[in-house]
């Protein structure tokens, strides 16, 4: 970590601690629907069996509610691995246990994937903001990942911006709830265009449903 990044990190920790102890008087948890009620079908995209995480993984992630499922079409090879995780409160306890959202840039290498390309791109699927577009590799395999943080009305592509928004929303609104949405597509024969199109098509289908599960 460079000196500049270390200084920024220390300033954020100090500011976040000050806000928590001097402004926030109690976390507000807004009403929402559970991902158990998230639709399994969107206009030709169908979810098969939903994946479940074991308790050890859940404890590590600190996630309150989540969905993991492969939404596939009738076209062979056209599918999206979809994950959405909701955290009703983001904090780190004195013991070190955290319910903070884990950035995918940290998790992908831990799963054996190398990040070979990364960009911030605008999105507007009825939900307007930005996402991070990441090309990943594992041996000869290639994948395309889009993800964004959707938190309290913000749609953000970078973790540092998410943290700053969380700091201000904790101070001014007594809220730290937020979500991570991740979309993963396989790459066939370096055909990134098909993977990009699959993401845009699927994301446009599910976006109108998201406010029920991710409070603004």
Cα distances (angstroms) measured from residue 112 to each of 96, 141, 142: 25, 11, 12
Cα distances from 46 to residues 38, 66, 68, 115, 147, in angstroms, run 12, 18, 13, 29, 20
* Beta bridge mates, 119: 133
Q: Domain segments of the chain: what residues?
A: 3-212
Residue 85, pLDDT > 90, answer: yes
pLDDT in tens, 133-187: 999 999 989 999 999 999 888 999 999 998 888 888 888 878 888 999 999 999 8
* Span of 18-32, 64-78, 108-122, 153-167 with lowest mean pLDDT: 18-32
Nearest Cα to Cα of residue 150 among 133, 170, 128, 167 = 128
**What whole-number distance in Å separates Cα of residue 72 and Cα of residue 134?**
21
Which pLDDT belongs to residue 97? 79
pLDDT above 60 for 15: no
- 46 forms beta bridges with 41, 72
On average, the pLDDT of the chain sits at 87
Stronger pLDDT, 189 or 47, i.e. the higher one: 47
In angstroms, the first-to-last Cα distance of the chain is 34
Quick one: pLDDT band at residue 23, thresholds 50, 70, 90? Answer: very low
Where residue 13 falls among pLDDT bands split at 50, 70, 90?
low
Q: Which of 50, 66, 81, 51 is nearest to 143 (CA)?
A: 81
Confidence check: pLDDT of 34 > 90 = yes
Question: What pLDDT sits at residue 10?
Answer: 53
Residue 4 has pLDDT above 70, yes or no: no
Q: Tokens standing for 183? A: 């979309």
pLDDT at residue 108 above 60?
yes
Beta-carbon neighbour count of residue 63 at 10 Å?
Answer: 21
Q: Provide the 8-state DSSP code for 53.
A: -
Predicted confidence at residue 16, as pLDDT, reads 52
Angle between helices 3-22 and 159-173 (to 10 degrees): 20
Q: Quote the pLDDT of residue 191.
A: 84
Q: What pLDDT score does 55 carry?
A: 92
Buried-exposed string 72-87: b where 16+ CB fall within 10 A, e elsewhere: bbeeeebbbbbbbbbb
Q: Which residue intervals of 1-113 are DSSP H helices?
A: 3-22, 55-61, 104-110
Residue with tokens 């629907």: 33
Give me the pLDDT at residue 185, please. Answer: 96
Max CA distance (Å), the chain: 56
Evaluate if residue 30 carries a pLDDT over 90.
no
Whether the per-residue pLDDT at 116 is higher than 50: the answer is yes
- Strand extents, DSSP E, 152-210: 154-156, 178-186
* pTM for this model (two decimals): 0.85
Residue with more model confidence, 189 or 37: 37
Backbone φ and ψ for 196, nearest 5 degrees, come out as: -60, -45
């Amino acid at each position: 970590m460079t000196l500049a990044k270390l200084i920024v990190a220390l300033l954020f920790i100090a500011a976040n601690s000050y806000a928590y102890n001097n402004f926030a008087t109690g976390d507000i948890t807004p009403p929402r629907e559970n991902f158990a009620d998230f639709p399994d079908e969107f206009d030709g995209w169908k979810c098969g069996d939903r994946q479940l995480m074991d308790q050890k993984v859940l404890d590590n992630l600190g996630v309150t509610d989540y969905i993991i499922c492969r939404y596939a079409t009738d076209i062979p090879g056209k599918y999206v691995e979809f994950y959405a995780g909701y955290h009703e409160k983001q904090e780190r306890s004195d013991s070190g246990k955290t319910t903070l959202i884990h950035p995918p840039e940290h998790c992908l290498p831990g799963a054996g994937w190398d990040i070979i390309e990364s960009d911030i791109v605008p999105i507007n699927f009825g939900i307007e903001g930005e996402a991070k577009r990441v090309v990943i590799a594992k041996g000869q395999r290639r994948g395309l990942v889009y993800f964004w943080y959707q938190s309290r009305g913000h749609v953000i592509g970078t973790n540092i911006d998410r943290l700053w928004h969380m700091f201000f929303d904790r101070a001014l609104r007594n809220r730290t709830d937020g979500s991570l949405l991740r979309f993963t597509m396989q790459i066939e024969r370096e055909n990134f265009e098909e993977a990009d199109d699959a993401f845009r098509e699927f994301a446009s289908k599910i976006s109108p449903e998201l406010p029920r599960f991710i409070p603004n």
